């Protein structure tokens, strides 16, 4: 399952009012204190993608990744887009060398 909330659809539509329309890829971003997470960027369609047409916008995700992280929900809240999935976040903060709160300054 792949869903985009009304709030996220509105924000994407606003973005494309002043930018060339393109496909949005959901991809796995490695690294960081919280472990791997899903992110979005404009990209070209590949043969290995699942493609979702939602409100006139193409959303792309590699089929293998989709099988591992679905269901996916893209939402927009006050401070930006949020991508919820079954992706398990890694625990701890060993990657950033912080003590106490993860990656705080």
DSSP structural state of residue 97: T
Strand partners, 72: 2
What CATH number labels 2-84?
Answer: 2.60.300.12
pLDDT on residue 8: 97
pTM attached to this predicted model = 0.79
**Region 75-99: what's the mean pLDDT?**
69
The answer for residues whose C-beta is within 8 angstroms of residue 38's C-beta and 6 or more apart is 26, 27, 28, 29, 69, 72, 83, 85, 87
Higher pLDDT, 58 or 101: 58
Kindly report the average pLDDT of the chain as a whole number. Answer: 84
The domain ranges of the chain are: 2-84
Q: For residue range 22-72, what is the model confidence (pLDDT) as tens digits?
A: 999 999 988 767 778 899 999 999 999 999 999 999 999 999 999 999 999
């Amino acid at each position: 399952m792949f869903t985009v909330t009304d709030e996220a659809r509105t924000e994407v539509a606003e973005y494309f009012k002043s930018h060339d329309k393109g496909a949005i890829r959901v991809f796995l971003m490695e690294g960081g204190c919280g472990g791997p997470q899903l992110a979005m960027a404009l990209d070209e369609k590949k043969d290995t993608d699942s493609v979702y047409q939602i409100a006139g916008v193409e959303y792309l995700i590699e089929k293998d990744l989709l099988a591992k992280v679905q269901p996916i929900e893209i939402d927009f809240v006050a401070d930006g887009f949020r991508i919820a999935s079954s992706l398990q976040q890694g625990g701890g903060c060993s990657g950033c060398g912080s003590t106490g709160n993860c990656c705080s300054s």
